[in-house]
Structure 1
């Protein structure tokens, strides 16, 4: 895998609940919800392939802080108490640059599960 560039700037926007990453090819604002449902934690991904847990009801989740984890990752603290995933530079770059695919996949998974971003289940008519 080619080495990904590190962001030249990282801005935490508490009001808009976004994390802005600035790369040589552009600036990317990732919502707290997007980062939360794609957390690399075991709670979200599971402990093995195919054991991921679909995150629902995270539409209004916010960001509390971002903490460097050595030279390789960021620890993102969410206002729902979640803070166990370490977002490596490679993973953040991938999330930023492939946002549309990841977000649309997530929305399809929610729909297939009859779940919602607001929480709870969607009534089927």
Structure 2
């Protein structure tokens, strides 16, 4: 993970809005973003989501209703949210949060294009990883 460069804006305020499901972040350069939890979860910088190299990403679906249940600081450079679906391994550096906020429209378009290419929808359930572990009623 890239460290902070001298010109990386740092958060001056971070607010979790449970009702609207957005993380509001104000930065030292005056920028203020409202980043939807769903976008954060879909673009989690964790190995579980990103994979270990290009083309190994796991397409995330069914995250529209996800909440952040806890938010832990990591040093002076990142936060580690815990999501209501149990995901908690993503470290969001200040640089990454700023990028998510600044590029929201582009990231949504990219996500929707990847969903369309996979024939999936935003609200589809995530596929179950282990075969035979799913029981239907």
TM-score, normalised relative to structure 1: 0.90
- CA gap of 1:78–1:48, structure 2 versus 1, over 3 A, is same
Q: Structure 2 matches for 1:68-79, cutoff 5 A?
A: 68-79=73-84
Corresponding residue of 1:27: 32
Of residues 15, 18, 36, the one that matches 1:11 is 15
Q: Does 1:87 align with 2:86?
A: no
Does the CA-based 8 Å contact 1:12-1:65 persist in structure 2?
no
- Partners of 1:96 and 1:2 lie apart in 2 by 20
**Which structure has the larger Rg over C-alpha atoms?**
2
Q: Please provide the CA RMSD for this pair.
A: 1.6
Unaligned runs of 5+ in 1: none
- Flag structure 2 segments of 5+ consecutive residues without an equivalent: 127-137
Shift of 1:25: 3.3
d(CA) in 2 for partners of 1:33, 1:20: 13
Count of residues paired in the alignment: 121
TM-score, with length taken from structure 2? 0.82
Measured against aligned partners, the alpha-carbon deviations of 1:92-122 in whole angstroms (never above 9, x if no partner) come to: 111111111111100111111111111159x
